[in-house]
A and B are shown apart, each in its own frame.
Chain A
Amino acid sequence: MTTDWRPSAALETLQQRAVLLAAMREFFAKRGVLEVDTPTLMPTTATDIYIDSYRVDSAASFLQTSPEFALKRLLAAGSGSIYQLGKVFRREAPSKRHNHEFTLCEWYRIGMNLEQLMDEVEALVQTVFAAADSQRTAAIKIERLSYRALFETYFAIDPHRVSLDKLSALAEQSLDLVAANLSRTDYLQLLLSHCIEPNLPEACFIFDYPVEQAALARLENDERGQPVARRFELFLGGMEVANGYFELLDEAEQRARFDADIAERARRGFDHVPIDEALLAALAAGMPECSGVALGVDRLVMAALGIDDIAGVIAFPQPRP
């Protein structure tokens, strides 16, 4: 047997992919968003409990899981609206939807609120879909559904207030589940990914997340006076494609969230991650009000070309068991 050296994606698909990436760059150029290129190797990384970075010991650095911190330092330095289209790395089990090294398009829009950024993401998806299929006459319409509305519809619960016991009971009813010590957030994400995602519209945004899932998004009260995280995710064909925030600007609040993540990491015995003091200093100096979003380019290409395995849109995926 000879070593399998050929690409997993068809050459024709790689040509189409190049056309779509060119369309994305043209989209940003037309809107005056500046392309920037920040390092993939940095001395700090994301603190999120469920984002695992590759550590490069010889360089005392981490391969970046998103260019977020570096881009925010540029914003604080007065760059104006910017985007980066490049590789990021996340140490997760490979699947049909995930490769440990993947292409992310992350951008920040000065002065935009979340609503306006969703409009822009929708316009970008329409541009890319049109570039994939010049015959497509009807533009894809992206529905907008609140996190609460989805859980009210599928489980008749308010996800912002529901108890851990109730969530655990719902999960037991809906799934044959083997999992110890799940949190409220774990249960909500489990029900969303297993029970709601398969029934989502072909294209939709979910917005206004529970505060525990705020990450780097700002908290505000919604129309019912409920504190929510001003965050959205884009789903195409039931697949999570993008994650956007109305960005947190407050340095003290950001530090408190980092500290909470780091304490939780220690409690679970996960790797320690140092705090990115440069990001905090940038926030202290003042970052302009903005919204930002990170979009998985490989997944967008999959959706645009109707390919259901990420190996079909990249040349050389990591091996899967």
Chain B
Amino acid sequence: MATFSTSEFKSGLKVLIDGEPCSILENEVVKPGKGQAFNRVRMRNLKNGRVWERTYKSGESLEGADVMETDMQYLYTDGEFWHFMKTDGSFEQIAADESAITDAKIWLKEEDIYTIVLWNEAPISVTPQNFVELEVVDTDPGLKGDTAQGGTKPATLSSGAVVKVPLFVTIGDVLRVDTRTSEYQNRVTK
């Protein structure tokens, strides 16, 4: 894999840091008029999602990471692995383990599309679409006459996620939910 010097750092570049794949989010050159230049780099660890800032003396370099993002369709889980299929017509499948699936686990729905990050062709993270539609499988009975105003109650969705919903929502409703905030958006069907 190629190496990249600080002058080539830019948003989106994938590099290896302490042996882990990271994505550069921001690279700012900091140079006093009469002083050594530094690069203040904000990056995200692609395995654990941690975002932090590291400062490099200008001229230092980093090894590139073979990282690729791809959209894949979720198929099923066997309990140990979660299986996805490429959407390019190749029907090629990959299996993501617990460490890659993490936060996405409660948003999985068969046949839905997910963004998978592959490092050296192995999946390291799975991200659901920003909005998903999921069925309510458990919630307290709805309150008659309550339409818009009023409080909220927890509802369990078919994927396992628990979200706060308006009181009128009942079991069997399909809801549109923002996966980034776990916020209820609206009811899709009644």
Contact = CB atoms under 8 A, between A and B. Distances in A.
Interface of A: 48, 50-51, 92-96, 98, 175-180, 182, 185-186, 189-190, 192-194, 213, 215, 233, 240, 243, 321
A219 to B, nearest CB: 16
Nearest to B8: A321
23 contacts: A50-B31, A50-B32, A93-B31, A93-B58, A95-B29, A98-B29, A98-B31, A175-B55, A176-B52, A176-B53, A177-B56, A178-B60, A179-B55, A180-B57, A182-B36, A186-B35, A190-B36, A190-B55, A193-B35, A233-B33, A240-B32, A240-B33, A321-B10
Interface in B5-31: 6-10, 27-31
A176 B43 CA distance: 12
A177 B34 contact: no
A194 B37 contact: no
B73 to A, nearest CB: 33
B37 A93 contact: yes
Contacts of B8: 321
Contact of A50 (B37, B53, B55): B37
Given A95-B28, A95-B29, A321-B7, A179 B60 contact: yes
Given A92-B31, A93-B29, A95-B28, A186 B54 contact: no
Contact of B36 (A93, A176, A186): A186
Contacts of B29: 92-95, 98
A96 B71 CA distance: 34
Nearest to B57: A179
A51 B32 CA distance: 10
A321 B1 CA distance: 20
Interface in B50-94: 52-58, 60
A92 B40 CA distance: 15
B92 to A, nearest CB: 34
Contact of A178 (B33, B34, B37, B57): B57
Nearest to A231: B34
Contacts of B53: 176
Nearest to A187: B36
Contact of B34 (A95, A96, A182, A243): A243
A181 to B, nearest CB: 8
A66 to B, nearest CB: 10
B184 interface: no
Contact of B54 (A93, A178, A215): A178
Given A92-B31, A98-B29, A321-B9, 6 more contacts: A48-B34, A186-B35, A192-B32, A193-B35, A243-B33, A321-B10
Nearest to A177: B55
Counting chain A CB atoms within 10 Å of each CB, the highest count among B33, B40, B60 belongs to B33
Contacts of B7: 93, 321
A179 B30 CA distance: 14
B38 interface: yes
A317 B31 CA distance: 18
